[in-house]
Structure 1
Amino acid sequence: MKIYISILVMALALVSCNSEKKQTTEIKSPNEKVIVDFNVNKEGQLYYLVKFNNKTVVDTSYLGFEFKDEPAFNKNFSIKNTSTSTFNETWQMPWGEQLDVVNNYNELKIELEETSEQNRQLNIVFKVYDDGLGFRYEFPEQANLTGDVFITEEHTEFNLTEDYKTFWIPGDWDIYEHLYNTTKLSEIDALKLANHKNLAQTYIPENAVNTPVTMVGSDGTHLSFHEAALVDYSGMTLKVDTENLDLKSNLVGSENRDYKVKKTMPFNTPWRTIQITDNAPDLIESKLIVNLNEPNKLGDVSWFKPMKYTGVWWEMHLGKSSWDYGMTQDMSTWTDGGQSNGTHGATTENVKNFIDFSAKNNIGGVLVEGWNTGWEHWIGFEDREGVFDFVTPYPDYDIDEVVRYGKEKGVEIIMHHETSAATETYEKQQDTAYALMQKYGMHAVKSGYVGKILPKGEYHHGQYMVNQYNNAAIKAAKYQVAVNAHEPIKATGLRRTYPNIISREGLRGQEFNAWATDGGNPPEHLPIVAFTRMLSGPIDYTPGIFNIKFDEYKKDNQVNTTIAQQLALYVVIYSPVQMAADLVEHYEANPEPLQFIKDVGVDWEQTKVLNGEVGDYVTIARKERETGHWFVGGITDEDARTVNIAFTFLDENQTYEATIYKDGEEAHWDNNPLDIKIETIEVNKDSQLKVKLAEGGGFAISLKKTN
């Protein structure tokens, strides 16, 4: 991977001070639209404020820590030195939404020291971009703070100046699988969701929100709060003060210890991030989160190829087949001679059927869930350690034959590791399991962490599990394995540092449409997700459901979109691995819309967000690497609308054959979801097009060069 550094200017300004002199520092973004002011008040408390377009968007916000067995770290500070620098580079993604990424910021580093007898030191570093900022705490090596530090709470504030329209999910310590709420900041009530009937793992201890949380102001200012480079630290939720319009960091804890983070000196925290734009599309185009992560540590990762995939998955959610082989409930008496329950999905024959379909339709992989022993014993069992075996297949799944057949057809098998959140079992088997994948030439694994974490008392988003997820991916890289994690920790841009972290769930996914009792994901869900969850990184949402109603399986459930929107999701919701999630027979019954899935890319040279409003609609165009073909996807919420597309992003002096897949005249997400119209026209850079989107609908366009 090539790195181009165009400018590196260091301008150091040393400022001396004493305890009686008030010191103020300021740093601006390269375009000077974002300004950060830092200060220390008379009590030595640290605070900052942020301006955007000459308006204060984050007012006086205090910073600090509480420690176990140490005095609090939140006052009696003085500024010892400050330094500023400018950095501008262009680096290349080995895979991603675009090839070239500009990383341009101005940096301010403040070196602080306590005036009290503790005399401890702290640095705060701000990196200010044209589209926002990140800041972190750095604990330098020092005489008066050594060894292990136990953080009981981090006090990072974001004091807002307006009662923003806010798109949020609760600050759940275990899951992100909530529908988004749209309220004023002052109306956030996360605790009312603490006993969600569809979410057994829910743990919401405070009126807090999870990140990314996105806000829209009365003047069109858009803010999104998150974190970057989450390594060996607890995930951060944001506690909401609805009266004072204030957000304060609330780290995920553990029932097993009286602190939330353990670190060894010296150390840095993750970056606390604020993306700031004056329109919704620029939020999606922002690369602030990945830019705040360290460069690639793995080197060449060309062994991973972005791909579309099918697999044994949706049929289990429909109830057509099962994950388990179904021989016995007594694990001690399981034998190879046991009899299948007759509904097992991961059979050699069934997987070969998916391989054949994938090979015919330009789909590179097949995911196989339920292939390995243990599925009979994990649901409902409190002690799940030792249940799953990640190398032993069920008797009706011949892994040697399946892999051989896949290679013959040019289709890779994607491994599945459901850990059932039994972390010690998975740790013990990881090397063996990854080695098995390496033996068979499998380069991608979908991991799962369903259930309460074992050891008991840990939460999915605490420091213990942050390390579990990250260490699993780092180890996987040694075996040339890429990880797509479900029930994960949030994405924070680590895909730049470890490009084998390819995708993750981390939201309420497609499967909720198949089995949730609350009506599934409403039409507004994904137009919100595009401006919230997707800002953090790739999403394995599993689109492409053609049998929208699936009444033959479940009369009370359905997908709440049109079929045209399901096609659009391959462009709108980004991931380098995109599933064609429906059953083979449903695709074969609909060959015309299937053509778009066959054609659409998964690895992009450029991305352009053409229009959109948070929670309402969005249109995205992406240019495929190597071929130069463009694909466009647009989706809307429960409201029908017409969008205008200007094809100015296309190449000069080039005509394209545009195949348009759009909602039919009578299309409606509930009343007539399968009404789709397909037409082909020629377009160029000067062309414009109006497209009507039905309620809960969408459109997809394939643009191929004519010469």
Structure 2
Amino acid sequence: MKKYLLPSFFILLVFQLCNAQELKSPNGNFTMTFSLLNDGTPTYALTYKNKAVIKPSKLGFELKDDKNSLLNHFTVSDTKSATFDETWKTVWGEETAIRNHYNELAVTINQKETNRKIIIRFRLFDEGLGFRYEFPEQKDLIYFVIKEERTEFAMTGDHTAFWIPGDYDTQEYDYTESKLSEIRKLFKSAVSSNASQKQFSDTGVQTSLMMKANDGLYINIHEAALINYSCMNLDLEDKTFVFQSHLTPDAQGNKGHIQAPSVSPWRTIIASYDARDVLASRMTLNLNDPCKIEDTSWIKPVKYVGVWWEMITGKSSWSYTNDFPSIQLGVTDYSKAKPNGTHGANTKHVKESIDFAALHGFDGVLVEGWNVGWEDWFGHEKDYVFDFVTPYPDFDVVEIKNYAKSKGIKMIMHHETSGATRNYERHIDKAFQFMNNHGYDAVKTGYVGNIIPLGEHHYSQSIINHYQYCVEKAAEYKIMLNAHESVRPTGICRTYPNMIGNEAARGTEFQAFGGSKPNHTTILPFTRLMGGPMDYTPGIFEMDISKLNPANNSHVNTTLANQLGLYVVMYSPLQMAADLPENYNRFLDAFQFIKNVPVAWTESKYLEAEPGYYLTIARKDKNSNNWFVGNNNGVKPRTSTISLDFLEKGKKYDATIYADAKDADYKTNPQAYKITKQKVTNKTKLSITSAAGGGYAISIVESK
């Protein structure tokens, strides 16, 4: 690993002219300019290859019960600049090593009337800009309450955006593609129902926000290292195309309680004329602290199956009985209950899942609905919903533990909190010790419904702190954590790699709740995945949900080949084969790709990319010289032409191509696919047609 940090007199990157400071990226393509307006308001601007990305935009804070706030009347008292270059190794990731190279400018500004100071730290990478606010220790700014962060992102025009509605409680929306000027008009139609949601403005959107300017420049706005702070949305002034930060409030309406010394999350802007550069950026990870877990040997990527999709579709139930009108843990006597006959998490059925996992080489099995309380868990805003240690009468924890161990399978625990964060924190040590005692080293948590304490939001400061507490507590017990319905990731998995996956977006389950748009997964890598991997739960082979549950008429809006491509396109070290074993048994030749595709990578190549339309990604297996390629396509059929020049020169490979058949279509013929094989080298070019809502997958194995 190389690493160095040099003071400004070595690098000469910053100069002062008319109260302005300028910072250039290592390759010189980006220029950030910081300056103060006449009234002392701090501003910044960003250009890429001499073209404006962000026009001059204001910085600062409005404080509660403080007439001066931290908005203006500043002077620059100090500037420090440096350059930094290191290469760090990942515990898991899209590659095994990541370069962290940036030039930095730290500007200290003082508010003369109040004797308060802020440091605004800018880091300029070859792919974009990160900046944050720092509140150093000082006698005149110790405790304060944020009324609103006033960071602006002034766009240069009416860009095309891929957006979901700004919300304090959910990101589980389909994406809308529109001009910025059309967001207000389309906002209501972009809002779909959810178990917990709260929009704040009809021009509010969420990050990571992906845009494309008329000249072809791709722009991505997000945040990194969201720690002890409220999650940021963006509120658009649609006449000037200026976004302003909008923090998630707490139950009292406050946006943040700060004690100096403290720092904000990083605000990030990535830009390029090539969409592939956005996908390849590791800036979000690089703006997070290095790994804080000394021994990471227990953190391992996992490919798993589970008792889950059958409940999502309504074929089975989480609950054990229909006898009780309500449940009170410690009072309700389950021994007197009659089983409902649909409970999925029973010992016999879970053993069948373990057998399937062992037969096909999977690592683990997830089981949902194993613990008491599911009969009365949702919609009542109960504080004491689950205890996370008491199984239903038909789920034998010890027998399952021993059986899984005999088959070489790891069990994955499920902890649904029903949004009751206080209750989970009360029980978390006992629950994690229970996992240690019974051989579970990974947990999927859930936060369905409104947050308790009532009035708090999924993305407010105290609940952000709850999620972080769970990650750090899990690390103490050597448990890998996969949080659903939590805040979107912001690269914290670099610091705590036991945070092996998250949902925090509209996942596959919504395909059983009415469906998602067929181009959904061509947008997610540019948005949700910018902050970390997603437990998207792909691998659905039966698209007609009524065949699993006649009462459910939903349709999975992809082709089968598209589902295979997801295992490469939707990066995650935690990948599920989500469908039922009987559906995989119908298509064993296609299922072979899911069995073969790794979950640990040493290198990734982004071959084609256009947000909302298509993606083609190649990744190299961490444990062999084999490569795997995945493609997802949008609503129009398209021929994808790719070069295999990433393969090692002079070597021959056997390629197996899983593609849409000529008559495949996500609506009318989703299970039509074809499998072909051919010899390939680094000189090979392939042309493969993807259907509407389709895609393809390729395994490329070094010839023996």
TM-based fold match above 0.5: yes
Q: d(CA) in 2 for partners of 1:27 and 1:41?
A: 18
SS of the counterpart of 2:122?
Answer: strand
Aligned to 2:555: 558
Residue 163 of structure 1, CA deviation: 0.9
Within 5 A, what are the aligned runs for 1:285-684?
285-326=280-321, 327-331=323-327, 332-382=331-381, 384-516=382-514, 520-552=515-547, 553-554=549-550, 556-684=553-681
SS of the counterpart of 1:551?
Answer: helix
Residue 156, structure 1, aligned to residue 151, structure 2: yes
- Please give the per-residue CA displacement for 1:51-106, whole angstroms capped at 9, x wherever unaligned: 01101111110011111233211111111111110101000110011101010000
Q: Tell me which moved more, 312-321 or 6-15.
A: 6-15
1:310, 1:367 within 8 Å by CA — same for their partners in 2? yes
- Please give the per-residue CA displacement for 1:126-156, whole angstroms capped at 9, x wherever unaligned: 000010010000111112212x221111100
Q: d(CA) in 1 for partners of 2:654 and 2:265?
A: 46
Q: d(CA) in 2 for partners of 1:681 and 1:120?
A: 68
1:65, 1:151 within 8 Å by CA — same for their partners in 2? yes
- Please give the per-residue CA displacement for 1:143-178, whole angstroms capped at 9, x wherever unaligned: 2212x2211111000011111100101110000001
SS of the counterpart of 1:443?
Answer: strand
Q: d(CA) in 1 for partners of 2:183 and 2:268?
A: 21
Give the direction of change, closer, same or farther, for the CA distance of 1:49–1:197 in structure 2 (3 Å limit): closer
Aligned to 2:32: 36
Residue 98, structure 1, aligned to residue 95, structure 2: yes
SS of the counterpart of 2:583?
Answer: helix
Aligned to 2:21: 25
Give the gaps of 5 or more residues in structure 1.
Answer: none
Give the direction of change, closer, same or farther, for the CA distance of 1:112–1:687 in structure 2 (3 Å limit): same
Identity across matched positions, percent: 44
- Please give the per-residue CA displacement for 1:555-581, whole angstroms capped at 9, x wherever unaligned: 621111110000000000011111100
Tell me the TM-score normalised to structure 1 length: 0.96
Residue 265 of structure 1, CA deviation: 1.0
2:176, 2:190 within 8 Å by CA — same for their partners in 1? no
SS of the counterpart of 2:466?
Answer: helix
Counterpart amino acid of residue 355 in structure 2? D
Q: d(CA) in 1 for partners of 2:369 and 2:275?
A: 40
SS of the counterpart of 2:334?
Answer: coil
Residue 13 of structure 1, CA deviation: 9.1
Counterpart amino acid of residue 267 in structure 1? S
Aligned to 1:209: 205
In the alignment, which of 128, 134, 147 is matched to residue 132 of structure 1? 128
Counterpart amino acid of residue 30 in structure 1? P
Residue 145, structure 1, aligned to residue 144, structure 2: no
Count residues with an aligned counterpart: 693
Q: d(CA) in 1 for partners of 2:17 and 2:81?
A: 21
SS of the counterpart of 1:598?
Answer: helix
Q: d(CA) in 1 for partners of 2:228 and 2:3?
A: 32
Counterpart amino acid of residue 585 in structure 2? E
Residue 12 of structure 1, CA deviation: 4.7
Runs of 4+ in 1 over 6 A off after TM superposition: none
1:238, 1:250 within 8 Å by CA — same for their partners in 2? yes
Residue 238 of structure 1, CA deviation: 0.6
Aligned to 1:57: 53
Counterpart amino acid of residue 487 in structure 2? I
- Please give the per-residue CA displacement for 1:499-529, whole angstroms capped at 9, x wherever unaligned: 111111111111111123xxx1011111111
1:78, 1:114 within 8 Å by CA — same for their partners in 2? yes
In the alignment, which of 173, 185, 188 is matched to residue 178 of structure 1? 173
Q: d(CA) in 1 for partners of 2:533 and 2:65?
A: 40
1:228, 1:492 within 8 Å by CA — same for their partners in 2? yes
1:14, 1:82 within 8 Å by CA — same for their partners in 2? no
Residue 658 of structure 1, CA deviation: 0.6
- Please give the per-residue CA displacement for 1:182-213, whole angstroms capped at 9, x wherever unaligned: 11112112884399453242200123111000
Q: d(CA) in 2 for partners of 1:126 and 1:140?
A: 16
Counterpart amino acid of residue 184 in structure 2? D
Give the gaps of 5 or more residues in structure 2.
Answer: none
SS of the counterpart of 2:109?
Answer: strand
Residue 695 of structure 1, CA deviation: 1.0
SS of the counterpart of 2:219?
Answer: strand
2:508, 2:537 within 8 Å by CA — same for their partners in 1? yes
- Please give the per-residue CA displacement for 1:636-684, whole angstroms capped at 9, x wherever unaligned: 0110000111001111221111111000111111111111100111111
1:22, 1:41 within 8 Å by CA — same for their partners in 2? no
SS of the counterpart of 1:316?
Answer: helix
SS of the counterpart of 2:356?
Answer: helix
Counterpart amino acid of residue 252 in structure 1? T
Residue 702, structure 1, aligned to residue 680, structure 2: no
Aligned to 1:251: 247
Aligned to 2:225: 229
1:661, 1:677 within 8 Å by CA — same for their partners in 2? yes
SS of the counterpart of 2:311?
Answer: helix
SS of the counterpart of 1:336?
Answer: helix
Counterpart amino acid of residue 592 in structure 1? D
2:604, 2:619 within 8 Å by CA — same for their partners in 1? yes
Give the direction of change, closer, same or farther, for the CA distance of 1:275–1:197 in structure 2 (3 Å limit): closer
Give the direction of change, closer, same or farther, for the CA distance of 1:93–1:203 in structure 2 (3 Å limit): same
Q: d(CA) in 1 for partners of 2:465 and 2:60?
A: 24
Q: d(CA) in 1 for partners of 2:4 and 2:472?
A: 32
Counterpart amino acid of residue 228 in structure 2? D
Q: Tell me which moved more, 321-330 or 467-476.
A: 321-330
Please give the root-mean-square deviation of Cα atoms over the aligned residues, in Å: 1.7
Q: d(CA) in 2 for partners of 1:139 and 1:202?
A: 32
1:95, 1:603 within 8 Å by CA — same for their partners in 2? yes
Q: d(CA) in 1 for partners of 2:679 and 2:297?
A: 35
Residue 333 of structure 1, CA deviation: 3.1
SS of the counterpart of 1:607?
Answer: strand
Q: d(CA) in 1 for partners of 2:441 and 2:299?
A: 6
Q: d(CA) in 2 for partners of 1:288 and 1:328?
A: 52
